[in-house]
């Protein structure tokens, strides 16, 4: 589904350099279609993203509908993916996470 696809894109963009510079773990509690617990781990060696609880305790936990999550990330990711390297995608994802946290 769209949530899994979004996390596949994020997983593909995670790299060691970005893990070193970010050192954060983000957990998403998504409701609705494709919902459940998802995470982006930018703390553990190599980093990872996917379904389930993160391998270590999350620094940020966010709750939203899966539709809002996909919309928020897909709209931004599309514009970044077209012309920027992968590391910029992850930076934009983290920036969005912090921005949306402020809104909640």
The tens digit of pLDDT for each residue in 5-53 reads 889 888 887 888 878 888 889 999 999 999 999 999 989 988 999 999 9
Q: Which of the four pLDDT bands, split at 50, 70 and 90, describes residue 66?
A: very high
How many domains does the structure of the chain reveal? 1
Q: What is the CA radius of gyration of the chain?
A: 12
The DSSP bridge pattern shows strands 36-42 and 48-51 to be: antiparallel
**For residues 50-78, average pLDDT:** 87
pTM: 0.73
Residue 29 lies in a domain: yes
**For residues 64-75, average pLDDT:** 85
Residue 103 lies in a domain: no
- Residue 69's H or E segment, with its range, is helix 66-81
Please tell me the distance from the alpha carbon of residue 21 to that of residue 24, in angstroms, as a whole number: 9
Instruction: Give the CATH number for residue 39.
Output: 3.30.1050.10
């Amino acid at each position: 589904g769209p949530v899994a696809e979004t996390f596949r894109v994020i997983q593909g963009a995670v790299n060691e350099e970005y893990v070193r510079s970010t050192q954060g773990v983000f957990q998403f509690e998504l409701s609705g279609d494709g919902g459940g617990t998802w995470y982006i781990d930018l703390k553990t060696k190599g980093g990872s993203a996917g379904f389930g609880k993160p391998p270590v305790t999350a620094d940020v936990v966010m709750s939203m509908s899966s539709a809002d999550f996909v919309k928020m990330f897909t709209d931004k990711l599309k514009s970044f993916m077209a012309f920027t390297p992968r590391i910029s995608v992850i930076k934009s994802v983290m920036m969005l996470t912090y921005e949306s946290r402020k809104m909640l």
